[in-house]
Structure 1
């Protein structure tokens, strides 16, 4: 028994060490040497910022710094980097071939109106439009995922824009990476990751949640939210119970963009069999007050679940019964309305969806009180 326990501990330690990777100087608190800078511009060469290889017009920004009359945003800590025209930062990561990883990073838009950020981990890449409509503080945390095809990968953040002012470009801060473990089906749920417990890294010192951008990849395995696809024009927000009200467990999803903010999953079903979809609808406790509503669609069936929110947390449960007509059934959730936080009219918010379960009526495994 002692030998078994030892082997179990050894296996767990090996598993953690085998899958974990680390971003060096991910918050950019270690900066260039004074002789490697001219004002805010990094001039000392490609290795001036510890842990990173840089190219192009790179600025090292200090909290409280101004550009003309504009205060530059440093989301976390005391320092961040800004990518000018065609500038990039790169770091080589040791990863496990064949595994999926999620990158969480914080980004702020500065002077350009349509800034973009190209994030890549070859051969996967994505171009994200930088918007400030999600939050009123000028920055957001994003998540993106990739599959490791090799034992090491270059993680690159690149500004593809070309502005008249070469310094214009997104500010990058707080970069972290963690492995994703694809959830397995169980005999208690036809859906994968119905509680949203598996997802991207959430910074413990950031209370904004993490945005999962829409339609960024074609394959469900690449989603930062395993099992689910963001099928919409706007992002959804991944939230944690340390900073938000969550119906069950530690994580949930907030639908922040009205009908332009939707998540979906395709489940394997048996034609002619009756199923029931159970889910929780609530608010995140983030001052998202008023009439919230979630619409659930399963094949030709649908249900609209209204929720009157006081913005202080809480939830209700709902169900949708249907008969499967195919071997694959698409389940989709979206928010009916556009909502703004009562304490910050520049921040989008919306209903929370959590604890999503799909079961066959012939073999019920749990009971819900509506």
Structure 2
């Protein structure tokens, strides 16, 4: 039995302004620059400044690709090395930012133990606790995103394992930490939704094919997907057209957790005026076959859109006509899942 997934793209006209900021990995963000052998005891990092460009705290291990923990192969998401954070361990790096701007962090993480793990990501005064108990990809790890607003010219980026495992060394592997500047989308005369095409969002690593998770219960003002809230118990996934079938533009959202995945946006409406919510539903060309249904809400109105997936890409367009009932209406896009019984 396999759960089916869906892509949703809201049509809009967008414009981008060019800014001078280099998106991508933090300095030594992939941990390929290793500590000196004298700063390691096996895999354990001995000095808090041993890993170039990073400061560590607590029980931190430097893990190379191919290493094992007992009979289990430790998965390094990208390249030749990663770090593992034990109980209450953390890594941090300071970098210059523009005060008042929004930024999104992207990093890859893999669980190494069976218990429910979480990660605390922070740039003071903002922080977020990211659940890791659900694995959404088939390769052993996921990429996660988290956003913040810079309140000082230098941001101290901290990734912390708040775990209390019986094994103090049992913690997640962290790799490929990157940053992207986010530019708040503007409304247009043609669309009352902001960032309806999802073109503005977290950094996606160019040579990866598993997308980036946007955590659940993320609010609009600090969302890695500007303009949108992840209004659900589970994450949604941000996809690019280089590796997936996307109905329009370069980006799309995949609702990967069935009824537990939903996105929403509050839009300004005029009471009594009629509006049309245009969107596209399709599959990501990732071999998921079967029947699915997407349900969209706007104000008091709703529509259910069935789609038969062949797992090879494709989409259909839908329209929800609704009337404004107050000065603001919340437009939800929610997936209901049917299951393939084969």
The answer for the alignment partner of 2:187 in structure 1 is 185
Aligned to 1:96: 98
User: Residues 247-272 of structure 1: CA distance to partner in whole angstroms, max 9, x if unpaired?
Assistant: 00000001111111000001000001
Following superposition, the deviation at residue 339 of structure 1 comes to 6.0
1:107 to 106, 109, 126: 109
Residues 105-254 of structure 1 aligned to structure 2 (within 5 Å): 105-216=107-218, 218=219, 220-254=220-254
**Which protein shows a greater Rg?**
1
Maintained 8 Å contact 1:21/1:93:
no
Give 1:50's aligned residue. Answer: 52
Q: Which runs of 4+ in 1 moved over 2 A?
A: 19-22
User: TM-score, normalization: structure 1?
Assistant: 0.85
Contact 1:21 1:95 in 2 (8 A): no
Cα deviation 1:103-146 (Å, max 9, x = unaligned): 00000011141111110001000111212431222210010000
The CA deviation string for residues 172-206 of structure 1, in whole angstroms up to 9 with x for no partner, is: 00010011001000011110001000000000111
Contact 1:197 1:250 in 2 (8 A): yes
Determine which structure has greater relative contact order: mean sequence separation of CA pairs < 8 Å that are 6+ residues apart, divided by chain length. Answer: 2
- Deviation track 1:339-361 (CA, whole Å, cap 9, x = no partner) reads 68x9xxxxxxxxxxxxxxxxxxx
Q: Which residue of 1 aligns with 2:9?
A: none
**SS in structure 2 at match of 1:16:** coil
Structure 1 position 338, deviation (Å):
6.0
Q: CA deviation at 1:221?
A: 2.0
Q: Distance in 2 between matches of 1:338 and 1:137?
A: 25
Change in 2 beyond 3 A, CA 1:263/1:85: same
Whole-angstrom CA distance in 1 between matches of 2:143 and 2:304? 30
Quick check: 2:108–2:175 contact (8 Å CA) kept in 1?
Answer: yes
The aligned residue for residue 292 of structure 1 is 292
Partner of 2:68: 66
TM-score (norm 2): 0.92
1:28 is aligned to 2:31: yes
Greater shift in the superposed pair: 127-136 or 327-336: 127-136
Query: Per-residue deviation at 1:22?
Result: 6.0
1:93: how far off? 1.2
CA shift in 2, pair 1:175/1:249, >3 Å: same
1:5 is aligned to: none
For residues 133 and 310 of structure 2, the distance between their equivalents in structure 1, rounded to whole angstroms, comes to 28
1:112/1:168 contact within 8 Å kept: no
Q: More helix per residue: 1 or 2?
A: 1
1:16 to 20, 31, 38: 20
Alpha-carbon separation, structure 1, partners of 2:278 and 2:96: 40
Paired residues of 1:182 and 1:221 also in contact (CA < 8 A): no
Deviation at 1:171, TM superposition (A): 0.4
Q: CA deviation at 1:292?
A: 1.7
TM-aligned CA deviation for residue 163 of structure 1 = 1.6
Deviations 1:23-43 (A, max 9, x none): 110000111111111111111
Which residue is equivalent to 1:332?
Answer: 332
C-alpha distance in 1 between matches for 2:338 and 2:183: 33
Summarize the Cα distance change of 1:193–1:171 in structure 2 as closer, same or farther, 3 Å threshold.
same
For the residues of structure 2 that align with 1:225 and 1:32, how far apart are their CA atoms?
35
**Structure 1: runs of 5+ lacking an equivalent:** 1-10, 343-370
Q: Which residue of 2 aligns with 1:368?
A: none
The answer for the alignment partner of 1:347 in structure 2 is none
Secondary structure at the aligned position of 2:318 is classed as: strand
Contact 2:23 2:178 in 1 (8 A): no
Secondary structure class of the residue paired with 1:281: strand
Q: Is 1:314 aligned to 2:318, yes or no? A: no
**What is the CA distance between 1:323 and its match in structure 2?**
1.2
